[in-house]
A and B are shown apart, each in its own frame.
Chain A
Amino acid sequence: MKGIRGISKLSRRFYAAARTGQSLTQPLAGLKLSPGSAHFYQDVHVTRLPSGLVIASLENYSPASKIGVFVKAGSRYETSENQGVTHLLRLASSLTTKGASAFKICRGVEAVGGNLSVTSSRENMIYTVDCLRDDIDTVMEYLINITTAQEFRPWEVSDLTPRVKMDKAQAAQSPQIAVIEALHQAAYKNALCNSLYCPDHMVDNVQSEHLHQFVQNNFTSARMALVGLGIDHAVLKQVGEQFLNIRSGGGATGAGAQYRGGEIRLAGLSSLVHSAVVSQSAAAGTSEALAFSVLQQVLGAGPHVKRGSNTSSQLIQGVAKATTDPFDVSAFNASYSDSGLFGVYTISQAAAAGDVIAAALAQVKAVADGGVTAADLTRAKAQLKGQFLMSLETSGGLLEAMGTQALTEGSYSSPEEVIKKIDNVSLTDIANAAGNFVSGKKTMASSGNLIKTPFVDEI
């Protein structure tokens, strides 16, 4: 009968009404789950504390947890007096702190089978620690010590000099590192021109006071983000409130990067010439930056099939017509918070260097003149989306994505939103971006046997 049916439907209606306020992606609070019950899917949670510290975490129920402290203390914030301090700071992560000696940190992290490392780019310094999720309290203590309670004992700092030299020697082995460091040095007048490695004249001269000063000015709550994978958000928030609220204020603001455009030639004996020709592109986060990223994929940014013939890369196809010697060319794209670099990176035989560079630049000009088809654009977008999504598959990549977004924007945009933005890039955006490169002031850095390599004003 209708009446009885209505009554049963009524109870269901009440049930549904009671649950509308509860998000289905957050676990019910106060509920004690049995160990064997299924886990609830969780989103990335981001909280901004009043001091400016941003806390982001994702509970992915992984058996291993990863915690990162992201600080806006990259090499761009070095001043002329303390060049190379970030290199020392990277190496100083294993030194004695107020709460734990160097031996205790090393022994403690090893005892739980964890890893502790610090990565620095020009913008950020990232302290990462990972271990099994039951041991996270132990290593968290060490991480807090390393980021907030450093002592930088003078004799320990001076003991780092051989490791600085070793790092530099190993970086010198790689021509790509040499060219990219030289590129930045030539392209900018300040901030972004600072190298990731300590300059030669400062190798023995970075003292404990420089490190203290740099940390005082840059390791402030407003410039830090605490990010965790495989950890509860409430736990991380408590840690952040208790321990990382040490220095308030924004710290010393870094100077805006000024692009100048120049050239550095690193003459050498190598028969392979590495050369990068770039010009200024857009700051990260803008739609132009996204257009440059898609343009990078249109032109070709590395092989997608191992030992394949790279048929999808326009640069490679264009340069292949100019020379038969072995070569490699890819589009170079780097975006920073207020500037960016976009161009081509070529590796060629010494005699063919000029031809290769000219052919590569001609290809970019062809794109600027509208030589890109819709199929190319779709392919490039698919490659960019694929690369982006696959980078989120590893815990390291996901942590880095969460951390850099938390640090720069204070929020996390889901991969779906990013995919949508990529889809919105049009052919005109690509053409404009390529045109910006063609018409912009060029910067060039080359290394190897440079007899046939053109100067920046000749290309």
Chain B
Amino acid sequence: MMSVVARSGVLTSFLRTTNHAVKSLVLTRAKELVPAAAPGGIRLGHTDVKIPDFSDYRRTEVTDPKKSSQGSSEERRVFSYLVTGASTVLGVYAAKTVVSQFVTSMSASADVLALSKIEIKLGDIPEGKNMTFKWRGKPLFVRHRTEKEIATEAAVNLGELRDPQHDKDRVQNPSWVIVLGVCTHLGCVPIANAGDFGGYYCPCHGSHYDASGRIRKGPAPLNLEVPFYEFPDDDTVIVG
């Protein structure tokens, strides 16, 4: 028998009404009108959109659509993680370098640092002679000691010193003594090769220092200060 609602020619569609709850594919040439607001969810599939061919950028292991990609997944994953990890390490190192370069640029510049050191050629100083250099705004005494002076200073009894220090604690190379030429009493500059002990004599208040720069007589409380110095070779010393 014919269906309950007989065919009504052109007017069949108006004897019933449809609401779509979920419609997954509406072709651009669909004959059936889909009311805009009625469905709970509409997904449109446009068949006129052309997807470009990306095969130039694809990995060869996954180009075959019929083969499962599970087999190559391990090696692809390892490769990706390795590249990512290495890039991360390099990136962190680069970042650290850049940051530290910016931060250290705020420290003292090279010309300032250069002023803090002095390089002295020892060949110019004969034995027994004391040379004075300006270093960091203060006079620097470099004395080439004779054998007799070295022996004398080494034999001094520490009990009779106001500021007991053995000679070998004050010099690296016994024939060269390098001290700051500032009297520890009130800051005058002592005169070399003067005084009762064969060293220095401060004319302001009468402090006598010996050939090692130690205070022997007079109001000064401490020995002459020994700066940091090193001998890069036998003929040169760098102080500071």
Contact = CB atoms under 8 A, between A and B. Distances in A.
Interface of A: 90-91, 93-94, 102, 105-106, 109-110, 113-124, 146, 162-163, 166-167, 170-171, 174, 176-177, 180, 196-197, 284-285, 289-290, 292-293, 296, 301-302, 330-337, 340, 345, 384, 387-388, 391, 400-401, 404-405, 407-409, 413, 418, 421
B24 interface: yes
A30 to B, nearest CB: 34
15 contacts: A91-B19, A113-B24, A114-B24, A115-B25, A116-B20, A117-B23, A121-B15, A166-B38, A176-B11, A177-B14, A301-B8, A301-B9, A334-B15, A405-B1, A421-B1
Nearest to A411: B1
Nearest to A337: B4
B5 A404 contact: yes
B30 to A, nearest CB: 12
Interface in B1-41: 1-11, 14-25, 35-41
B38 A116 contact: no
A163 B37 contact: yes
B148 to A, nearest CB: 104
Nearest to B17: A196
Label chain B's interface by main secondary structure: loop
B43 interface: yes
A113 B40 CA distance: 14
Given A163-B37, A171-B17, A335 B9 contact: no
Contacts of B40: 94, 102, 105-106
Contacts of A197: 17
B3 A404 contact: yes
B8 A334 contact: yes
B7 A413 contact: no
Contacts of A293: 2, 6-7
A418 B5 contact: no
Contact of A113 (B2, B25, B38, B41): B25
Contact of B43 (A110, A301, A336): A110
A224 to B, nearest CB: 15
Nearest to B45: A113
Which of B6, B7, B43 has the most C-beta atoms of chain A within 10 angstroms of its own C-beta?
B6
Interface in B37-64: 37-41, 43
